Chains A and B, each alone.
Chain A
Amino acid sequence: AQKVTQAQTEISVVEKEDVTLDCVYETRDTTYYLFWYKQPPSGELVFLIRRNSFDEQNEISGRYSWNFQKSTSSFNFTITASQVVDSAVYFCALSEARWGFQKLVFGTGTRLLVSP
């Protein structure tokens, strides 16, 4: 069965601090996809990144970076020099390719509070 664990329920940082959100997943499939979504206080879900299981290259997008390690089944998300606008709930999600389409399994989310 597939499972996503986000052990950090809530993280509080001061602006300009770096912060890492952890994501650990379980799957029996060899081909799968990992996602991060952001849910700001307004409530919508915003897609941030997708990573394929066969591509372990880390990715950087501005202040955001993602570290994918198959050996530890982790897909961690780092925000560098955090800003107040980063305050949101962040969800990690997993999709197994065997379904032929996307059935997302979400973690329980990490609430990030960035104070000025």
Chain B
Amino acid sequence: NAGVTQTPKFQVLKTGQSMTLQCAQDMNHEYMSWYRQDPGMGLRLIHYSVGAGITDQGEVPNGYNVSRSTTEDFPLRLLSAAPSQTSVYFCASSSGQSNQPQHFGDGTRLSIL
């Protein structure tokens, strides 16, 4: 059972570079989300998707883009990396009911120099 798979696990970027964090799930979940985890701030929602072709902003969307062309994949794009985006990024998926727990990937640790 793969669950939620995030790649890469670690990445170092220079300011201004762009990159895509990959997220894939094999549970046929409708809902997928991206969170960032910063020290002392818990996890904060960046973007989410309620199904293929539908995305929306979360609490901290600036500097990030997402798309959802398939049910399985939900990539997160950093258009022009900034040091403030240094964080650990988690992708999550869940079924359509709000009482169901989200399944998290193992995270991507991203450093922006």
Q: Report which A residues bind B (CB closer than 8 A).
A: 4, 6, 9, 33, 35, 37, 43-45, 47, 50, 52, 91, 93, 95-97, 99-109
Within 8 A of A (CB), among B40-62: 40-45, 48, 50, 58
A50 / chain B contacts, CB cutoff of 8 Å: 99-101
Find out whether the CB atom of A102 lies under 8 angstroms from the CB atom of B58.
no
Contact of A44 with B43 at beta-carbon distance under 8 Å, contacts A96-B98, A102-B31, A102-B98 already known = no
What are 19 A-B interface contacts by the 8 Å CB criterion? A44-B107, A45-B104, A47-B101, A47-B102, A50-B99, A52-B99, A97-B98, A99-B98, A101-B30, A101-B31, A101-B96, A102-B33, A102-B94, A102-B97, A103-B33, A103-B58, A104-B43, A105-B45, A108-B42
Q: Report which B residues bind A (CB closer than 8 A).
A: 30-31, 33, 35, 40-45, 48, 50, 58, 88, 90, 94, 96-104, 106-107
Bound: A106/B102 CA distance, A: 12
B48 / chain A contacts, CB cutoff of 8 Å: 101, 103
Find out whether the CB atom of A104 lies under 8 angstroms from the CB atom of B102.
yes
B102 / chain A contacts, CB cutoff of 8 Å: 47, 102, 104
Find out whether the CB atom of B94 lies under 8 angstroms from the CB atom of A91.
no
A105 smallest CB distance to B (angstroms): 8
A38 smallest CB distance to B (angstroms): 11
Of chain A, the residue at the smallest CB distance from B31 is A101
A100 / chain B contacts, CB cutoff of 8 Å: 50, 96, 98
Find out whether the CB atom of B88 lies under 8 angstroms from the CB atom of A43.
yes
Of chain A, the residue at the smallest CB distance from B96 is A101
B96 / chain A contacts, CB cutoff of 8 Å: 100-101
Bound: A34/B49 CA distance, A: 21
